[in-house]
Structure 1
Protein backbone atom coordinates (compact mmCIF):
# COMPACT_ATOMS: atom_id res chain seq x y z
CA UNK A 1 0.00 0.00 0.00
CA UNK A 2 1.47 3.40 -0.96
CA UNK A 3 2.64 5.61 1.91
CA UNK A 4 0.15 8.32 0.91
CA UNK A 5 -2.71 5.97 1.84
CA UNK A 6 -1.65 6.21 5.49
CA UNK A 7 -1.55 10.03 5.60
CA UNK A 8 -4.43 11.80 7.30
CA UNK A 9 -3.88 14.80 5.03
CA UNK A 10 -4.46 12.61 1.93
CA UNK A 11 -7.61 10.88 3.20
CA UNK A 12 -11.08 11.38 1.76
CA UNK A 13 -13.43 13.60 3.73
CA UNK A 14 -16.99 12.21 3.95
CA UNK A 15 -18.36 15.71 4.65
CA UNK A 16 -17.35 16.94 1.21
CA UNK A 17 -17.72 13.87 -0.99
CA UNK A 18 -20.59 15.56 -2.87
CA UNK A 19 -19.27 19.12 -2.68
CA UNK A 20 -19.54 19.39 -6.46
CA UNK A 21 -23.34 19.11 -6.14
CA UNK A 22 -23.66 22.04 -3.71
CA UNK A 23 -24.42 25.66 -4.44
CA UNK A 24 -22.11 28.44 -3.24
CA UNK A 25 -23.77 28.74 0.17
CA UNK A 26 -23.56 24.99 0.69
CA UNK A 27 -19.83 25.02 -0.12
CA UNK A 28 -19.25 27.90 2.31
CA UNK A 29 -21.10 26.08 5.08
CA UNK A 30 -19.23 22.82 4.60
CA UNK A 31 -15.90 24.64 4.58
CA UNK A 32 -16.77 26.67 7.69
CA UNK A 33 -17.82 23.53 9.55
CA UNK A 34 -14.53 21.87 8.70
CA UNK A 35 -12.47 24.97 9.49
CA UNK A 36 -14.02 25.05 12.97
CA UNK A 37 -12.08 21.84 13.72
CA UNK A 38 -8.77 23.68 13.32
CA UNK A 39 -9.00 25.45 16.70
CA UNK A 40 -9.39 22.17 18.59
CA UNK A 41 -6.43 20.67 16.72
CA UNK A 42 -4.22 23.60 17.72
CA UNK A 43 -5.49 23.54 21.31
CA UNK A 44 -4.55 19.87 21.61
CA UNK A 45 -0.90 20.84 20.98
CA UNK A 46 -0.78 23.92 23.21
CA UNK A 47 1.81 22.48 25.60
CA UNK A 48 4.19 21.61 22.79
CA UNK A 49 3.62 25.05 21.25
CA UNK A 50 4.33 26.71 24.60
CA UNK A 51 7.61 24.78 24.96
CA UNK A 52 8.62 25.97 21.52
CA UNK A 53 7.74 29.58 22.41
CA UNK A 54 9.90 29.40 25.53
CA UNK A 55 12.85 27.96 23.62
CA UNK A 56 12.59 30.55 20.86
CA UNK A 57 12.48 33.38 23.40
CA UNK A 58 15.49 31.93 25.20
CA UNK A 59 17.50 31.80 21.96
CA UNK A 60 16.44 35.35 21.07
CA UNK A 61 17.77 36.56 24.42
CA UNK A 62 21.11 34.94 23.60
CA UNK A 63 21.29 36.55 20.18
CA UNK A 64 20.02 33.49 18.32
CA UNK A 65 17.60 33.27 15.41
CA UNK A 66 14.41 31.52 14.42
CA UNK A 67 14.55 29.78 11.04
CA UNK A 68 11.45 28.38 9.32
CA UNK A 69 11.77 25.85 6.50
CA UNK A 70 9.08 24.40 4.29
CA UNK A 71 7.95 23.65 0.76
CA UNK A 72 4.90 24.92 -1.10
CA UNK A 73 2.21 26.34 1.17
CA UNK A 74 4.22 25.45 4.29
CA UNK A 75 7.24 27.33 3.00
CA UNK A 76 5.18 30.35 1.99
CA UNK A 77 3.60 30.54 5.43
CA UNK A 78 7.02 30.46 7.08
CA UNK A 79 8.35 33.21 4.82
CA UNK A 80 5.20 35.26 5.47
CA UNK A 81 5.52 35.03 9.25
CA UNK A 82 9.22 35.87 9.11
CA UNK A 83 8.62 38.87 6.86
CA UNK A 84 6.01 40.31 9.21
CA UNK A 85 8.25 40.37 12.28
CA UNK A 86 10.36 43.44 11.38
CA UNK A 87 7.40 45.79 10.77
CA UNK A 88 5.45 44.39 13.74
CA UNK A 89 8.19 44.10 16.36
CA UNK A 90 11.05 46.22 14.97
CA UNK A 91 13.30 43.17 14.73
CA UNK A 92 16.27 42.96 12.34
CA UNK A 93 15.40 40.93 9.21
CA UNK A 94 17.93 38.24 10.10
CA UNK A 95 16.31 37.49 13.47
CA UNK A 96 13.45 35.45 11.94
CA UNK A 97 14.17 33.87 8.56
CA UNK A 98 12.05 31.78 6.21
CA UNK A 99 13.46 29.15 3.83
CA UNK A 100 11.32 27.75 1.02
CA UNK A 101 12.23 24.87 -1.26
CA UNK A 102 13.04 26.35 -4.66
CA UNK A 103 13.96 29.75 -3.30
CA UNK A 104 12.09 33.05 -3.84
CA UNK A 105 10.67 31.86 -7.17
CA UNK A 106 8.63 29.26 -5.27
CA UNK A 107 6.72 31.99 -3.44
CA UNK A 108 4.55 32.58 -6.49
CA UNK A 109 4.85 29.41 -8.56
CA UNK A 110 5.79 25.78 -8.15
CA UNK A 111 9.43 24.81 -8.67
CA UNK A 112 9.52 21.29 -10.07
CA UNK A 113 11.15 18.76 -7.75
CA UNK A 114 12.42 21.32 -5.22
CA UNK A 115 10.66 19.74 -2.26
CA UNK A 116 12.16 16.32 -3.03
CA UNK A 117 15.79 17.37 -2.47
CA UNK A 118 17.04 16.90 1.13
CA UNK A 119 20.56 17.93 0.12
CA UNK A 120 19.27 21.30 -1.04
CA UNK A 121 17.56 21.74 2.32
CA UNK A 122 20.82 21.08 4.13
CA UNK A 123 22.71 23.43 1.80
CA UNK A 124 20.16 26.23 2.27
CA UNK A 125 20.55 25.90 6.03
CA UNK A 126 24.34 25.89 5.75
CA UNK A 127 24.16 29.15 3.79
CA UNK A 128 22.60 30.80 6.86
CA UNK A 129 25.40 29.66 9.16
CA UNK A 130 22.95 28.11 11.62
CA UNK A 131 24.44 27.10 14.97
CA UNK A 132 23.47 25.86 18.43
CA UNK A 133 22.20 29.37 19.22
CA UNK A 134 19.33 29.02 16.78
CA UNK A 135 15.92 27.34 16.57
CA UNK A 136 14.93 25.67 13.31
CA UNK A 137 11.26 24.96 12.66
CA UNK A 138 10.51 22.47 9.91
CA UNK A 139 7.01 22.79 8.45
CA UNK A 140 5.51 19.94 6.42
CA UNK A 141 1.83 19.06 6.51
CA UNK A 142 2.60 15.51 5.40
CA UNK A 143 5.45 15.24 7.91
CA UNK A 144 7.73 13.69 5.31
CA UNK A 145 8.81 16.37 2.81
CA UNK A 146 12.45 15.53 1.90
CA UNK A 147 13.59 19.17 1.69
CA UNK A 148 12.32 19.83 5.22
CA UNK A 149 13.82 16.60 6.56
CA UNK A 150 17.15 17.65 5.06
CA UNK A 151 16.91 20.98 6.86
CA UNK A 152 16.12 19.54 10.30
CA UNK A 153 18.69 16.77 9.96
CA UNK A 154 21.42 19.33 9.28
CA UNK A 155 20.09 21.56 12.06
CA UNK A 156 20.49 18.74 14.55
CA UNK A 157 24.00 18.03 13.28
CA UNK A 158 25.06 21.59 14.11
CA UNK A 159 23.34 21.54 17.51
CA UNK A 160 20.36 23.80 16.77
CA UNK A 161 17.08 23.22 18.59
CA UNK A 162 14.53 21.71 16.21
CA UNK A 163 10.74 21.94 16.07
CA UNK A 164 8.52 20.09 13.62
CA UNK A 165 5.04 21.18 12.55
CA UNK A 166 3.06 18.50 10.71
CA UNK A 167 -0.57 17.49 10.29
CA UNK A 168 0.06 13.78 10.69
CA UNK A 169 1.20 11.60 13.60
CA UNK A 170 3.35 9.59 13.58
CA UNK A 171 5.55 11.29 11.03
CA UNK A 172 9.15 11.22 9.86
CA UNK A 173 9.45 14.88 10.79
CA UNK A 174 8.06 14.34 14.28
CA UNK A 175 10.55 11.54 14.87
CA UNK A 176 13.50 13.79 13.98
CA UNK A 177 12.87 16.93 16.05
CA UNK A 178 13.19 18.04 19.66
CA UNK A 179 9.60 19.30 19.81
CA UNK A 180 6.82 17.79 17.70
CA UNK A 181 3.68 19.83 17.00
CA UNK A 182 1.13 17.56 15.31
CA UNK A 183 -1.96 19.43 14.11
CA UNK A 184 -4.50 16.68 13.46
CA UNK A 185 -7.08 18.68 11.54
CA UNK A 186 -8.45 15.66 9.68
CA UNK A 187 -8.96 15.15 5.96
CA UNK A 188 -9.15 18.24 3.79
CA UNK A 189 -12.33 19.41 2.06
CA UNK A 190 -10.52 18.82 -1.22
CA UNK A 191 -8.46 15.67 -0.66
CA UNK A 192 -4.77 16.45 -0.25
CA UNK A 193 -5.20 20.24 -0.57
CA UNK A 194 -3.20 21.14 2.51
CA UNK A 195 -3.41 24.87 1.84
CA UNK A 196 -6.84 24.58 3.51
CA UNK A 197 -7.23 23.30 7.11
CA UNK A 198 -3.58 22.29 7.40
CA UNK A 199 -2.45 25.70 6.18
CA UNK A 200 -4.85 27.51 8.52
CA UNK A 201 -3.68 25.51 11.52
CA UNK A 202 -0.05 26.09 10.60
CA UNK A 203 -0.60 29.85 10.29
CA UNK A 204 -2.18 29.94 13.75
CA UNK A 205 0.82 28.17 15.25
CA UNK A 206 3.36 30.40 13.50
CA UNK A 207 1.46 33.46 14.75
CA UNK A 208 1.74 32.09 18.27
CA UNK A 209 5.42 31.14 18.06
CA UNK A 210 6.64 34.58 17.06
CA UNK A 211 4.10 36.65 18.98
CA UNK A 212 4.58 34.60 22.15
CA UNK A 213 8.37 34.79 21.95
CA UNK A 214 8.31 38.53 21.24
CA UNK A 215 6.07 39.13 24.27
CA UNK A 216 8.43 37.11 26.46
CA UNK A 217 11.46 39.15 25.40
CA UNK A 218 9.71 42.46 26.12
CA UNK A 219 8.44 43.66 22.76
CA UNK A 220 5.07 44.60 24.26
CA UNK A 221 3.66 46.38 27.31
CA UNK A 222 0.26 44.93 27.99
CA UNK A 223 -1.08 44.31 24.51
CA UNK A 224 0.65 47.28 22.88
CA UNK A 225 3.64 47.08 20.55
CA UNK A 226 6.24 49.33 22.17
CA UNK A 227 9.55 48.46 20.53
CA UNK A 228 8.99 50.98 17.78
CA UNK A 229 11.67 52.70 15.76
CA UNK A 230 10.10 56.10 14.87
CA UNK A 231 11.69 56.30 11.44
CA UNK A 232 8.82 58.08 9.69
CA UNK A 233 6.04 60.51 10.49
CA UNK A 234 3.42 57.80 10.97
CA UNK A 235 5.56 55.96 13.50
CA UNK A 236 6.49 59.16 15.32
CA UNK A 237 2.81 59.97 15.73
CA UNK A 238 2.08 56.42 16.90
CA UNK A 239 4.96 56.55 19.39
CA UNK A 240 3.69 59.78 20.97
CA UNK A 241 0.14 58.43 21.11
CA UNK A 242 1.22 55.23 22.88
CA UNK A 243 3.30 57.25 25.34
CA UNK A 244 0.39 59.60 26.07
CA UNK A 245 -2.01 56.71 26.63
CA UNK A 246 0.19 54.34 28.61
CA UNK A 247 2.26 56.95 30.41
CA UNK A 248 -0.77 59.17 31.12
CA UNK A 249 1.01 62.33 30.02
CA UNK A 250 -0.01 65.14 27.69
CA UNK A 251 1.47 65.60 24.24
CA UNK A 252 4.00 68.23 25.31
CA UNK A 253 5.34 66.00 28.06
CA UNK A 254 5.44 63.03 25.68
CA UNK A 255 7.56 65.06 23.30
CA UNK A 256 9.95 66.04 26.11
CA UNK A 257 10.37 62.45 27.28
CA UNK A 258 11.04 61.17 23.77
CA UNK A 259 13.56 63.94 23.17
CA UNK A 260 15.40 62.99 26.38
CA UNK A 261 15.55 59.33 25.36
CA UNK A 262 16.44 59.87 21.72
CA UNK A 263 13.02 58.64 20.64
CA UNK A 264 13.24 55.42 22.66
CA UNK A 265 9.66 54.63 23.63
CA UNK A 266 10.49 51.98 26.24
CA UNK A 267 12.74 54.29 28.22
CA UNK A 268 10.24 57.13 27.90
CA UNK A 269 7.50 54.89 29.31
CA UNK A 270 9.65 53.97 32.30
CA UNK A 271 10.38 57.65 32.88
CA UNK A 272 6.71 58.61 32.67
CA UNK A 273 5.33 55.82 34.85
CA UNK A 274 8.13 55.42 37.41
CA UNK A 275 9.03 59.12 37.56
CA UNK A 276 12.76 58.64 36.97
CA UNK A 277 15.26 60.30 34.65
CA UNK A 278 16.48 58.86 31.36
CA UNK A 279 19.63 57.29 32.76
CA UNK A 280 17.75 55.53 35.55
CA UNK A 281 15.17 54.32 33.02
CA UNK A 282 17.87 52.84 30.79
CA UNK A 283 19.55 51.10 33.74
CA UNK A 284 16.22 49.65 34.85
CA UNK A 285 15.50 48.36 31.35
CA UNK A 286 18.93 46.75 31.10
CA UNK A 287 18.41 45.10 34.47
CA UNK A 288 14.98 43.82 33.45
CA UNK A 289 16.13 42.36 30.15
CA UNK A 290 14.19 44.95 28.16
CA UNK A 291 10.89 44.24 29.93
CA UNK A 292 9.13 47.55 30.55
CA UNK A 293 6.92 46.25 33.35
CA UNK A 294 9.87 44.80 35.24
CA UNK A 295 11.88 47.99 34.63
CA UNK A 296 9.08 50.16 36.06
CA UNK A 297 8.90 48.00 39.18
CA UNK A 298 12.68 48.12 39.63
CA UNK A 299 12.88 51.88 39.03
CA UNK A 300 10.04 52.51 41.47
CA UNK A 301 11.74 50.39 44.14
CA UNK A 302 14.98 52.24 43.51
CA UNK A 303 13.30 55.59 44.14
CA UNK A 304 11.79 54.49 47.42
CA UNK A 305 14.92 52.83 48.82
Structure 2
Protein backbone atom coordinates (compact mmCIF):
# COMPACT_ATOMS: atom_id res chain seq x y z
CA UNK A 1 0.00 0.00 0.00
CA UNK A 2 2.85 2.35 0.82
CA UNK A 3 4.35 1.60 -2.58
CA UNK A 4 1.14 2.64 -4.37
CA UNK A 5 0.94 5.87 -2.38
CA UNK A 6 4.54 6.74 -3.20
CA UNK A 7 3.74 6.18 -6.85
CA UNK A 8 0.71 8.46 -6.61
CA UNK A 9 2.73 11.19 -4.90
CA UNK A 10 5.40 10.88 -7.59
CA UNK A 11 2.78 11.34 -10.29
CA UNK A 12 1.44 14.44 -8.55
CA UNK A 13 4.96 15.88 -8.41
CA UNK A 14 5.43 15.15 -12.11
CA UNK A 15 2.12 16.87 -12.79
CA UNK A 16 3.31 19.99 -10.99
CA UNK A 17 6.49 20.04 -13.07
CA UNK A 18 4.51 19.72 -16.30
CA UNK A 19 2.19 22.53 -15.24
CA UNK A 20 5.17 24.79 -14.61
CA UNK A 21 6.60 23.88 -18.01
CA UNK A 22 3.27 24.64 -19.67
CA UNK A 23 3.02 27.95 -17.87
CA UNK A 24 6.48 28.86 -19.12
CA UNK A 25 5.64 27.88 -22.71
CA UNK A 26 2.40 29.89 -22.59
CA UNK A 27 4.27 32.97 -21.35
CA UNK A 28 6.82 32.53 -24.14
CA UNK A 29 4.12 31.98 -26.76
CA UNK A 30 5.26 28.43 -27.60
CA UNK A 31 2.02 26.76 -26.51
CA UNK A 32 -1.56 27.79 -27.12
CA UNK A 33 -3.96 28.10 -24.22
CA UNK A 34 -6.44 25.60 -25.63
CA UNK A 35 -3.72 23.05 -26.33
CA UNK A 36 -2.44 23.49 -22.79
CA UNK A 37 -5.88 22.94 -21.26
CA UNK A 38 -6.34 19.76 -23.29
CA UNK A 39 -3.02 18.41 -22.02
CA UNK A 40 -3.93 19.27 -18.43
CA UNK A 41 -7.32 17.61 -18.76
CA UNK A 42 -5.77 14.43 -20.16
CA UNK A 43 -3.20 14.29 -17.38
CA UNK A 44 -5.82 14.87 -14.69
CA UNK A 45 -7.89 11.97 -16.01
CA UNK A 46 -4.80 9.77 -15.92
CA UNK A 47 -4.02 10.74 -12.32
CA UNK A 48 -7.65 10.21 -11.29
CA UNK A 49 -7.63 6.72 -12.77
CA UNK A 50 -4.42 5.88 -10.93
CA UNK A 51 -5.95 7.15 -7.70
CA UNK A 52 -9.03 4.98 -8.16
CA UNK A 53 -6.81 1.94 -8.71
CA UNK A 54 -4.93 2.69 -5.48
CA UNK A 55 -8.23 2.99 -3.59
CA UNK A 56 -9.41 -0.31 -5.07
CA UNK A 57 -6.17 -1.98 -4.02
CA UNK A 58 -6.58 -0.56 -0.51
CA UNK A 59 -10.10 -1.98 -0.20
CA UNK A 60 -8.90 -5.39 -1.39
CA UNK A 61 -6.16 -5.38 1.26
CA UNK A 62 -8.69 -4.47 3.96
CA UNK A 63 -11.05 -7.23 2.81
CA UNK A 64 -8.26 -9.78 2.90
CA UNK A 65 -7.29 -8.67 6.41
CA UNK A 66 -10.89 -8.98 7.59
CA UNK A 67 -11.04 -12.52 6.24
CA UNK A 68 -7.82 -13.43 8.06
CA UNK A 69 -9.19 -11.97 11.29
CA UNK A 70 -12.37 -14.03 10.93
CA UNK A 71 -10.29 -17.21 10.71
CA UNK A 72 -8.48 -16.25 13.91
CA UNK A 73 -11.57 -15.26 15.89
CA UNK A 74 -14.22 -17.71 14.68
CA UNK A 75 -13.06 -20.37 17.15
CA UNK A 76 -13.43 -18.11 20.19
CA UNK A 77 -16.05 -19.09 22.75
CA UNK A 78 -16.91 -17.20 25.94
CA UNK A 79 -14.70 -14.19 26.71
CA UNK A 80 -14.44 -12.50 30.12
CA UNK A 81 -12.47 -9.39 31.19
CA UNK A 82 -9.32 -9.64 33.31
CA UNK A 83 -8.40 -6.81 35.67
CA UNK A 84 -5.05 -5.64 36.93
CA UNK A 85 -4.33 -7.15 40.33
CA UNK A 86 -1.81 -4.70 41.71
CA UNK A 87 -2.79 -1.19 40.64
CA UNK A 88 -0.57 1.23 42.57
CA UNK A 89 -2.41 3.63 44.86
CA UNK A 90 -1.21 6.99 46.18
CA UNK A 91 -1.64 5.50 49.67
CA UNK A 92 -1.29 1.75 49.89
CA UNK A 93 -1.70 1.37 53.68
CA UNK A 94 -3.72 2.77 56.54
CA UNK A 95 -2.34 2.92 60.08
CA UNK A 96 -5.01 3.35 62.74
CA UNK A 97 -4.00 4.18 66.32
CA UNK A 98 -5.91 4.86 69.54
CA UNK A 99 -3.96 6.72 72.25
CA UNK A 100 -4.66 7.52 75.88
CA UNK A 101 -5.36 11.22 75.40
CA UNK A 102 -6.10 13.90 72.87
CA UNK A 103 -2.77 15.54 73.70
CA UNK A 104 -0.95 12.33 72.78
CA UNK A 105 -2.79 12.23 69.46
CA UNK A 106 -1.88 15.83 68.68
CA UNK A 107 1.75 15.16 69.58
CA UNK A 108 1.91 12.09 67.32
CA UNK A 109 0.27 13.95 64.43
CA UNK A 110 2.89 16.68 64.72
CA UNK A 111 5.77 14.18 64.79
CA UNK A 112 4.47 12.24 61.79
CA UNK A 113 3.97 15.45 59.81
CA UNK A 114 7.46 16.72 60.63
CA UNK A 115 9.39 13.50 60.07
CA UNK A 116 7.53 11.93 57.15
CA UNK A 117 6.17 15.01 55.43
CA UNK A 118 3.67 15.46 52.62
CA UNK A 119 3.79 11.84 51.43
CA UNK A 120 1.20 10.88 54.05
CA UNK A 121 -2.29 11.98 55.00
CA UNK A 122 -3.07 12.26 58.72
CA UNK A 123 -6.66 12.20 59.95
CA UNK A 124 -7.96 12.65 63.49
CA UNK A 125 -11.28 11.05 64.31
CA UNK A 126 -13.38 10.08 67.30
CA UNK A 127 -11.93 10.30 70.80
CA UNK A 128 -8.15 10.01 71.03
CA UNK A 129 -7.91 8.25 67.65
CA UNK A 130 -6.03 8.95 64.42
CA UNK A 131 -5.46 7.44 61.00
CA UNK A 132 -2.44 7.79 58.77
CA UNK A 133 -2.67 6.99 55.04
CA UNK A 134 0.77 6.23 53.64
CA UNK A 135 2.71 4.34 51.00
CA UNK A 136 4.58 1.11 51.62
CA UNK A 137 7.90 2.96 51.77
CA UNK A 138 6.78 5.16 54.67
CA UNK A 139 4.92 2.41 56.56
CA UNK A 140 7.84 1.30 58.79
CA UNK A 141 8.50 4.90 59.87
CA UNK A 142 4.83 5.48 60.73
CA UNK A 143 4.62 2.27 62.78
CA UNK A 144 7.89 3.14 64.53
CA UNK A 145 6.71 6.64 65.45
CA UNK A 146 3.40 5.28 66.73
CA UNK A 147 5.00 2.49 68.76
CA UNK A 148 7.69 4.70 70.33
CA UNK A 149 5.24 7.41 71.32
CA UNK A 150 5.52 8.49 74.97
CA UNK A 151 2.19 6.80 75.59
CA UNK A 152 1.90 3.34 74.05
CA UNK A 153 -1.15 3.05 71.76
CA UNK A 154 -4.13 1.16 73.09
CA UNK A 155 -4.81 0.02 69.53
CA UNK A 156 -2.59 -0.17 66.46
CA UNK A 157 -4.06 -1.60 63.25
CA UNK A 158 -2.36 -1.65 59.84
CA UNK A 159 -4.61 -2.23 56.82
CA UNK A 160 -3.56 -2.66 53.19
CA UNK A 161 -5.74 -0.60 50.86
CA UNK A 162 -7.11 -1.91 47.57
CA UNK A 163 -8.99 -0.27 44.73
CA UNK A 164 -12.59 -1.29 44.29
CA UNK A 165 -12.73 -3.27 41.01
CA UNK A 166 -14.99 -2.19 38.17
CA UNK A 167 -17.20 -5.16 37.43
CA UNK A 168 -17.11 -6.23 33.78
CA UNK A 169 -14.05 -4.12 32.93
CA UNK A 170 -10.37 -4.91 32.54
CA UNK A 171 -7.35 -4.51 30.29
CA UNK A 172 -7.10 -8.24 29.65
CA UNK A 173 -9.37 -11.00 28.41
CA UNK A 174 -9.78 -14.69 29.14
CA UNK A 175 -11.46 -16.72 26.43
CA UNK A 176 -12.46 -20.33 26.03
CA UNK A 177 -12.17 -21.96 22.61
CA UNK A 178 -15.14 -23.60 20.94
CA UNK A 179 -12.73 -26.26 19.67
CA UNK A 180 -9.26 -26.92 21.13
CA UNK A 181 -6.10 -26.21 19.17
CA UNK A 182 -2.51 -27.26 19.80
CA UNK A 183 0.17 -24.99 21.21
CA UNK A 184 1.89 -25.14 17.81
CA UNK A 185 -1.28 -23.97 16.07
CA UNK A 186 -1.63 -21.13 18.56
CA UNK A 187 1.96 -20.06 17.88
CA UNK A 188 1.38 -20.10 14.11
CA UNK A 189 -1.79 -18.04 14.40
CA UNK A 190 -0.14 -15.44 16.62
CA UNK A 191 2.76 -15.14 14.18
CA UNK A 192 0.37 -14.71 11.27
CA UNK A 193 -1.86 -12.21 13.03
CA UNK A 194 1.01 -10.04 14.27
CA UNK A 195 3.24 -10.55 11.23
CA UNK A 196 6.16 -11.84 13.30
CA UNK A 197 8.82 -14.29 12.10
CA UNK A 198 9.79 -15.17 15.67
CA UNK A 199 8.37 -15.11 19.17
CA UNK A 200 9.26 -16.60 22.55
CA UNK A 201 7.49 -19.57 24.11
CA UNK A 202 7.69 -21.14 27.55
CA UNK A 203 5.84 -24.44 27.70
CA UNK A 204 3.79 -25.26 30.77
CA UNK A 205 5.24 -27.94 33.02
CA UNK A 206 4.64 -31.28 31.32
CA UNK A 207 3.37 -29.73 28.06
CA UNK A 208 4.62 -30.07 24.48
CA UNK A 209 3.89 -28.24 21.24
CA UNK A 210 1.15 -30.81 20.61
CA UNK A 211 -0.61 -30.14 23.92
CA UNK A 212 -4.16 -28.95 23.44
CA UNK A 213 -5.22 -25.42 24.33
CA UNK A 214 -8.81 -24.92 25.49
CA UNK A 215 -8.50 -21.48 27.07
CA UNK A 216 -6.40 -18.36 26.49
CA UNK A 217 -5.68 -15.33 28.68
CA UNK A 218 -4.34 -12.27 26.86
CA UNK A 219 -3.15 -8.79 27.75
CA UNK A 220 -1.17 -6.37 25.60
CA UNK A 221 2.09 -4.85 26.80
CA UNK A 222 3.54 -6.10 30.06
CA UNK A 223 0.49 -8.01 31.16
CA UNK A 224 1.51 -10.14 34.12
CA UNK A 225 -0.27 -7.89 36.64
CA UNK A 226 -3.48 -8.61 34.73
CA UNK A 227 -2.86 -12.26 33.88
CA UNK A 228 -1.62 -13.28 37.32
CA UNK A 229 -4.02 -15.80 38.79
CA UNK A 230 -5.88 -16.34 35.51
CA UNK A 231 -6.58 -20.02 34.98
CA UNK A 232 -5.86 -20.59 31.30
CA UNK A 233 -3.93 -23.10 29.21
CA UNK A 234 -2.16 -20.29 27.37
CA UNK A 235 -1.04 -16.80 28.36
CA UNK A 236 -0.34 -14.30 25.58
CA UNK A 237 1.33 -10.97 26.33
CA UNK A 238 4.26 -8.78 25.33
CA UNK A 239 6.79 -9.29 28.09
CA UNK A 240 7.26 -10.94 31.48
CA UNK A 241 10.19 -11.34 33.84
CA UNK A 242 12.07 -14.62 34.24
CA UNK A 243 10.44 -15.52 37.55
CA UNK A 244 6.98 -14.49 36.36
CA UNK A 245 7.32 -16.89 33.42
CA UNK A 246 8.43 -19.69 35.73
CA UNK A 247 5.50 -19.02 38.04
CA UNK A 248 3.06 -19.23 35.11
CA UNK A 249 4.49 -22.41 33.59
CA UNK A 250 4.61 -24.20 36.94
CA UNK A 251 1.01 -23.11 37.42
CA UNK A 252 0.04 -24.97 34.24
CA UNK A 253 0.00 -22.14 31.68
CA UNK A 254 2.09 -22.04 28.52
CA UNK A 255 3.40 -18.51 27.88
CA UNK A 256 3.80 -16.78 24.52
CA UNK A 257 5.76 -13.51 24.58
CA UNK A 258 5.82 -11.32 21.47
CA UNK A 259 7.61 -8.26 22.98
CA UNK A 260 5.88 -5.20 24.32
CA UNK A 261 4.85 -3.07 21.36
CA UNK A 262 4.38 -6.07 19.06
CA UNK A 263 1.49 -7.12 21.28
CA UNK A 264 -0.09 -3.69 20.79
CA UNK A 265 0.75 -3.01 17.15
CA UNK A 266 -1.58 -5.71 15.83
CA UNK A 267 -4.57 -3.56 16.76
CA UNK A 268 -3.54 -1.01 14.14
CA UNK A 269 -4.91 -3.35 11.48
CA UNK A 270 -8.28 -3.18 13.23
CA UNK A 271 -8.10 0.57 13.78
CA UNK A 272 -7.07 1.46 10.23
CA UNK A 273 -10.34 0.53 8.44
CA UNK A 274 -12.36 2.09 11.26
CA UNK A 275 -10.58 5.42 10.79
CA UNK A 276 -10.85 5.03 7.02
CA UNK A 277 -14.63 4.76 7.31
CA UNK A 278 -14.79 7.54 9.89
CA UNK A 279 -13.10 9.90 7.43
CA UNK A 280 -15.46 8.70 4.67
CA UNK A 281 -12.49 7.43 2.64
CA UNK A 282 -11.36 11.03 2.09
CA UNK A 283 -8.16 10.48 4.05
CA UNK A 284 -5.63 7.70 3.54
CA UNK A 285 -4.84 6.10 6.90
CA UNK A 286 -1.48 4.36 6.64
CA UNK A 287 0.23 1.91 8.97
CA UNK A 288 3.92 2.68 9.29
CA UNK A 289 6.20 0.19 7.59
CA UNK A 290 9.19 1.24 9.71
CA UNK A 291 7.67 1.25 13.19
CA UNK A 292 8.85 -1.82 15.10
CA UNK A 293 9.66 -3.00 18.59
CA UNK A 294 13.12 -1.89 19.75
CA UNK A 295 13.95 -5.49 20.68
CA UNK A 296 14.72 -7.75 17.72
CA UNK A 297 15.43 -11.49 17.69
CA UNK A 298 18.38 -12.09 15.35
Same fold judged by TM-score > 0.5?
no
TM-score, normalised to structure 1's length?
0.19
Higher relative contact order, chain-length normalized (CA < 8 Å, sep 6+) = 1
Greater fraction strand: 2
Could you state the TM-score of these two structures normalised by the residue count of structure 2? Answer: 0.19
Higher helix share: 1
